[in-house]
Amino acid sequence: MFNPPTFDIGTVAGSIGAITGPLGCVIAWISYRRSQQIKTLTLRLELRKQMSGVRVDIEALPALLEQARASRSAVRAAMGRGPQSGDNLIWKAELERDLKIVQALVCDLPDAKETYQCSKPQELESKLVEVYALAARAAQLRNKYETALATDDKDRDHIRADARRRVGL
């Protein structure tokens, strides 16, 4: 005798579940891989952007330090303090130490041509932290010497004011 197949709702739902379950796993895995690729790309772009900015900042430091050296020497000379005065010697020693730090920063810069295509997200994060540390050290030196230049400008204003008073007397 022939028994026609019975399709109850449980059989249909089970069949659909058997098909969509593995399909959902595959789609989830593809989405996960895609999000990892996007995360890696984002980290890589951020790293290269930060490296570019840090490179510009660090490469500008020697000129800033040289400008500060010339400015400080001129102001101290105008104040009547010779190149062998104690504060000038301390300033020059500190400047020389900072120039060596700048040279070390230049050596610590990662290769500008590196694309980091094969790097894992963890490696990119580590490199990004290193670049942030370099940026912080460069910013500290930049701020120090910009402040020194501002102080020299104020000293110049005082020197000019004193000269005007002496001429007016």
For residues 66 and 40, the answer to whether their CB atoms sit within 8 Å is no
Q: How far is CA 164 from the centre of its chain?
A: 46
Q: For residues 83 and 136, which has the higher predicted lDDT (pLDDT)?
A: 136
Write the DSSP symbol of residue 3.
-
The pLDDT of residue 146 is above 80:
yes
- pLDDT score of 94: 93
Cα–Cα distances in Å, from 9 out to 4, 5, 12, 14?
16, 13, 5, 8
Average pLDDT, the chain: 87
What's the angle, vertex CA 90, arms to CA 84 and CA 92, rounded to 5?
75
Domain assignments of the chain as residue spans, ordered by start: 46-168
- pLDDT tens across 4-26, in order? 666 677 777 788 888 888 888 88
For residues 79 and 159, the answer to whether their CB atoms sit within 8 Å is yes
Q: How many CB atoms lie within 10 A of CB 105?
A: 19
Q: Kindly report the pTM of this predicted structure.
A: 0.74
- pLDDT score of 101: 94
- pLDDT tens across 30-75, in order? 998 999 889 988 989 999 999 999 999 999 999 999 999 999 988 8
- pLDDT score of 7: 64
